[in-house]
Amino acid sequence: MMIRDMFADDINRKINGVIKVDQAADEIIEQELNEYVITRELKKHFITFFNYYGDAFDQPTADMGVWISGFFGSGKSHFLKMLSYLLENKEVKGIRSVERFRKKFEDDPATFMLIDRATKGPTETILFNIDIEGFSNKDKTAVLRVFAKMFYNHLGFYGENLKVAMMERYIDQQGKTEEFRRVFEEKKGKSWLEMRRAFAFNGRFIIPTLMEVLYMSEDDAKAWFNDKTATEISIAQLVEDMKAYVDTKSANFRLLFMIDEVGQYVGTDTDMLLNLQSLTEKIGSECEGKIWVICTGQEAIDEIIKVRADEFSRIQARFKTRLSLSSSSVDEVIQKRILKKKPEAAADLETVYEQNDSVLRNLFSFSGSILDIKGYSGPREFTENFPFVPYQFIIMQKVFAEIRKHGNSGKHLSGGERSMLSGFQEAAQKIQEKDEYALVPFFRFYDTVHTFLDGSIRRVIERCQKAADNGDGIEQQDVDVLKLLYLIRYIDDIPSNLDNIVILMADDIRVDKIIMREAVRGCLDRLMSQNYIGRTGDTYNFLTDEEQDIQREIRDTNVDTASIVERIAQMIYGDIFTTKKFRYGKYDFAFDQMVDGITVGVATGGMRLRFLTVATDAIEKTDYRLMAESKGNEAIVVLADTPYYESLESAMKIRKYVKQRNVNQFPKSVQKIISDQQDEAGKYELSAMIELQNAIEGAQFYVDGEHLEIKAGNAKSKIDQSLEYLVAHVYSKLDLITENAGSDADIIAILTGTVTMLPGMEPNRDAASAMEEYLEMQDVKKLPTSMADVQRKYSAIPYGWKEIDIAAVAAQLIYSQKVTIKYAGNTIQPDDPKLPDMLRKKSEIGKTSISKRKTISATMMRDAKAMLREYFDIMDVPDDEDGLIRFVTEKFNKQRDYYASLDARYEGHKYPDRALVQEAIRLMDDVLSQKKDNIALIERVLKKEDDLFENKESMSNGIENFFKTQVTVFDQAVQFEKSLHDDLDRIAENEEAHKALNTIRLITMVQTGSKFNYNRIPELNPLMDTVRTAHDKMLEEKRVEVLETVRQCMEATHTVANGDSKASHLIEKSDWYFSQCKEKIAELKSLALLDAMFLPMCQYKDDTVSHIETVLAPPASKPQVQTTQTGKEQATAKKKVVRAYNRQVVFQAKTLQTDADIDDYVEKIRSQLKQLLKNCDEIKLN
């Protein structure tokens, strides 16, 4: 059966592919109503709308807005138009619109009843596209002016010019419309309806007409005609006119503004949105549901105002009914309007499917596509869609959307069921002469959209078609493939690789995919050679004229091989195999990184990993040569032949091309192409990465002179295996390390012997032997060796030990006393806490020397141990060399510290035998000065044996015992003697005390060069007791004497006051002072200080008495002035100031033995009396 005979409706009938709201011919309306398909989605929207619309008849509402949203081609304009037909219930060719819908709702009578009820009342619809009817000047009142225009047009007025419309409305209200038109036609000679468009040019006819019909004066008529503000109208005025109009109708009358593309017209313009909001709000509040506003837009109303939702909240309230349409049911529309089959055709097609089920399943198996891109699921789907395939409905929607984005002429191309409707019809018509095995190949859809495409795209196809017609290296099938590649150019859902192109080109169920594959491959190769298409990895791309020019320039851009190899190296070592050190067990091995002849990073001279690319000559890749070059320390990877190099070269050519040009100076179209090329470069790089990984996985490996067969694995795994084999062969002495150290704590444990090791079973025993042999050889050669030398040797080939393990092996030799460690010339002992750092820290190993140990002779060891036992009076002296050295160092350091502590006690004191203590310190320092060398240290101990014993004996017999038992008494005696310096004259009066004090001075006196007599120190305590007893007696006598003076002073003050209350405060103060004096007298232990108290007490008594006398004296009468004979006043005589002092204050007790003593005593009294007389006129001694 031929395809054209299968369809229920003629496939060649005229179908209006794109619905426009202003198409009103009865034939078009009839076809639209009859063929309108109610999909499952549309049924939901019909129910939603008519429920809300129908409720408004029962309950007036202000929420009279409906917003229908959906992208281009979703059917929103068609839906709006169907609503207008239904609501107006227009009669078309004798049948009302609602009746034409009855059959569409046969399976849902309840919904049809809802629609039928809503259309019973009289309804007028004003259906228009606001983008067409709107004014080009989109100011803040644009929406209002469009509404006014369409409303007044609907009333029969000239809404294009509001001034004219308002005039016509006024004339109509006066009932003079016919008269006005007749008079105007009489004056002009032409009808008003014909000439009102030229209103401004017909003033000389309009003004007289207004004067005659409306009885206006000439001045008034001219003023109105010339008034430029007469075109303005407010929202309130327009809504008032609307309300006046609907109020003239019946209660259930409805006026509907049905406006297409409002969203596109208003956009996000704040002023127009506010204008729309104010207008709809006013219509809703004033007309209470009699006037409705039904709009369409690509975006939902809340999406349009989402940025400023608070400002436009009222517009959301008005458009409470919101319907969102999609093209998800586009296949359902096409199946019903175009592809519906006759019963006999459907039966034949089901048979075809059953016979070719497996073939069809295999035919449409896409690679890399998303899940819903597929073939037929069963016979029913095959029958419904034939001769199309289900994936074509999905892909074509995306094609239309992308054409709108990327083709200038396709901006107004709808992507929903309407343009797809015509597209599928035209594609089916192309193969209508074929049978039931034919399929529509995807390239057929190009012819349905080519008229909408930009000229730059069409020119490429046309040029290719011309080449095919002329046989210029291009065949007809090549043109079809080129058309296909354009259609899927921007579609990511199906990668444009060879396999998928073969499927998309399939034009028959029985096609042989293998033959077809080769044919398509040939097409692609020819198109590539003629630069019609480009290639990225395994995908092919359509190229426009400009793209072809740029592609040609990119191909001619030169990129040198070295740059490509360097980029390959970056990808291998920066992305695929990022390991900088190879982990082998607990070891990390550095290796040099190379690709061809390029080294990545700094070469270490150790192991080497080298990749050979296709850039390396084949002669350098022979088995014999590669095995020879890899011998020793290298792993060579010969990459398999995958197109990684070509992909990377293409990417780098694009990058270089872009870098060499100032892209910003090019036209926008060229900038876009270059930007796309940069995206292509990214895809090339990604493809190169995958291909490079595949090249490594399929590579040949040559390691240490052998051609290895690496077991299966990914790229990194195979490289790891080759390096593992290399490490095992290069570092052949790595296994000498049988136990790894983990931290400094492990090294310290070895040095201190806390690790228990059975003889002959020590870990790393062979490693220690190897290191010991090396140090012996260095010693024989007289070569100094540092730990840096040792670390360098044993971390390199063939050892490869970790630095901490090298330090641990050295520590083992140190503990076994087989090596000597020196730092800054000093021999380091195993217990030195800094020793681990000296063995492994980079900043220290260069300063640390290690050498084969020279042992102390047995004789020296024996003599030294005997001497040390006697000197330190200890039997437990270590037998091993390290232990003995440690013992000597510790003991002499401790002894020196002891002597230094004794020497420190001399500071601030004059103790005996300090020179002896300092000599002991010097001896200790002399011995310890040799601690850098074990042998020298023991030699020095034995050499200084006599001096050490002599000094120790001298110390123990004198000064050591002094500091242990006598220093306290000695200090007390010295301090006691110092405390009596002021009382020596009085103590001299007591012969026994005087003699005892002199003896104390003699015993405590330390004289340089004289031997101190430690045996007399015990005499100090009795001597101090003798002096103390005598001095205490003298103190007691002196206290009695001073207290008597206190008593006399207090008696004198009380006597003068005589109990008078006026002097009580002075008496209280005086008594407090003398009570303090009594306390001080009891505390003082110096005779001289007690004597010194007499004078201030007496002075205080005299001052107090004087104050009391002043307070108690009667007020003085004014002295009479005596006049002399000369007439001058005689001055009053001045009163004498007398001071009384106790004789004991002036004449203190003292023993005088010589004339000189007498002279000194008298002189002191004279000086004191003169000083006292300065403060008064007379001195009275009591």
Selection from 1149, 1150, 1147, 1136 nearest residue 1169 by Cα: 1147
Distances (CA, A) of 391 to 8, 369, 370, 1075: 23, 11, 11, 123
Band of the pLDDT at 152, cuts 50, 70, 90?
Answer: very high
Same domain, 272 and 209: no
Asked if residue 443 is part of any domain, the answer here is yes
Cα–Cα distance, 77 to 261 (Å, whole number): 8
Place of tokens 């008269």: 179
198 and 258 co-located in one domain: no
Q: For the residues of 330-352, what is the DSSP string, one character each?
A: HHHHHHHHT-PBPHHHHHHHHHH
Q: What is the pLDDT of residues 1105-1155, one digit of tens each?
A: 889 988 888 765 555 555 555 544 554 455 677 776 666 666 766 777 888
At 306, the pLDDT band (50, 70, 90 cuts) reads low
Element containing residue 635 per DSSP (H, E):
strand 634-638
- Cα distance between the two ends of the chain: 167
Is 292 in a helix, a strand, or coil?
A: strand
Question: What value does the mean pLDDT take over residues 582-611?
Answer: 89
pLDDT per position as a tens digit, 825-842: 888 888 889 999 999 999
CA distance linking residue 999 with residue 1023, whole number of Å = 8
> Does the structure show a pLDDT above 70 at 307?
no
Q: What percent of the chain has pLDDT over 90?
A: 39
pLDDT at 371 over 80: no
- Pairing type for strands 291-297 and 65-69 reads parallel
Question: Is 916 part of a structural domain of the chain?
Answer: yes
- Other CB atoms within 10 A of residue 305 CB: 21
What does pLDDT average to over the chain? Answer: 86
The residue type found at 68 is I
Averaged pLDDT, 488-507? 91
Query: What is the domain extent for residue 899?
Result: 858-957
Residue 844 and residue 790 share a domain: yes
Please write the tens of the pLDDT for every residue from 762-809: 788 889 899 989 998 988 888 999 999 999 999 888 888 989 999 999
The confidence score (pLDDT) of residue 299 equals: 66
Residue 219 lies in a domain: yes
Q: Is the dihedral of CA 294, 297, 300, 305 positive or negative?
A: negative
pLDDT tens digits, 1054-1083 = 988 888 888 899 999 999 999 999 999 999
Closest CA to 305 of 277, 342, 282: 277
- Among 680, 701, 727, the domain-final residue is 727
Q: How does residue 1182 score in pLDDT terms, banded at 50, 70 and 90?
A: low
- Whether 610 and 633 have beta carbons less than 8 Å apart is answered as no
Say if residue 76 is in the same domain as residue 105.
yes
829 in any annotated domain: yes
Q: How many CA atoms lie within 13 A of 179 on its CB side?
A: 13
- 148 has a pLDDT exceeding 90: yes
Q: Looking at the predicted structure, is the pLDDT value of residue 161 above 50?
A: yes
Chain segment 462-481, per-residue pLDDT in tens: 999 999 999 999 999 999 99
- Are 711 and 671 part of one and the same domain? yes
Where is 826: in which H helix or E strand? strand 826-827
Contact of 987 with 1153, CB cutoff 8 Å: no
Query: Does the structure show a pLDDT above 90 at 138?
Result: no
Query: In one letter, which amino acid is 81?
Result: K
1000 versus 1123: the higher-pLDDT residue is 1000
Q: Are residues 502 and 394 in the same domain?
A: yes
Residue 314 lies in a domain: yes
The total number of structural domains in the chain stands at 6
Does the pLDDT at position 625 exceed 80? Answer: yes
Return the residue matching tokens 């042992």. 855
Q: What is the average per-residue pLDDT within 130-148?
A: 86
Q: For residue 310, what pLDDT is reported?
A: 47
448 lies in a domain?
Answer: yes
Looking at residues 577-588, what average pLDDT do you find?
87
Rounded to whole angstroms, the Cα distance separating 328 from 335 reads 13
Averaged pLDDT, 236-257: 93
Return the pLDDT at 456.
Answer: 79
Residues contacting residue 110 through CB under 8 Å, at least 6 positions apart = none
Most confidently modeled of 416-420, 434-438, 968-972?
434-438
Please indicate, yes or no, whether residues 784 and 847 belong to a single structural domain of this protein: yes
Confidence of residue 564 (pLDDT cuts 50, 70, 90): very high
State both tokens at 335.
Answer: 């199946």
* Residue 371 and residue 513 in one domain: yes
Give the model's confidence band at 59: pLDDT under 50 very low, under 70 low, under 90 confident, else very high: confident
Q: What is the rounded distance in angstroms from the CA atom of residue 587 to the CA atom of residue 801?
A: 8
pTM of the full structure? 0.52
- What percentage of the chain reaches a pLDDT higher than 70? 92
Q: Are residues 211 and 258 in the same domain?
A: no
CA distances to 25, 267, 294 from 70, rounded to whole Å, are 26, 14, 14
Residue 874 lies in a domain: yes
Sorting pLDDT into bands at 50, 70 and 90, what band is 328?
Answer: low
Pair (222, 300) in one structural domain? no
| Residue 1034 resides in a domain | no
CA dist 895 and 883 (Å) reads 18
Question: What's the CATH number where 119 sits?
Answer: 3.40.50.300
User: How far are the Cα atoms of 351, 457, 517, 751 from residue 833, in angstroms, in the given order?
Assistant: 94, 82, 78, 10
Q: Do 446 and 573 share a structural domain?
A: no
Instruction: Please tell me the predicted confidence (pLDDT) of residue 174.
Output: 92
- Give the residue among 369, 654, 614 at the shortest CA–CA distance from 494: 369
Q: Give the end of a domain, one of 677, 703, 727.
A: 727
pLDDT at 702: 96
CB 579 within 8 A of CB 609: no
DSSP 857: P
Is residue 103 located within the same domain as residue 194? Answer: no
Cα dihedral: 220, 225, 228, 234 (round 10): 80
Q: What DSSP character marks residue 827?
A: E
Q: Is the pLDDT of residue 298 over 80?
A: no
**For range 739-761, the mean pLDDT:** 82
Give residue 314's pLDDT. 52
pLDDT at 1141: 67
Q: Which of 301, 324, 347 represents a domain boundary (last residue)? A: 324
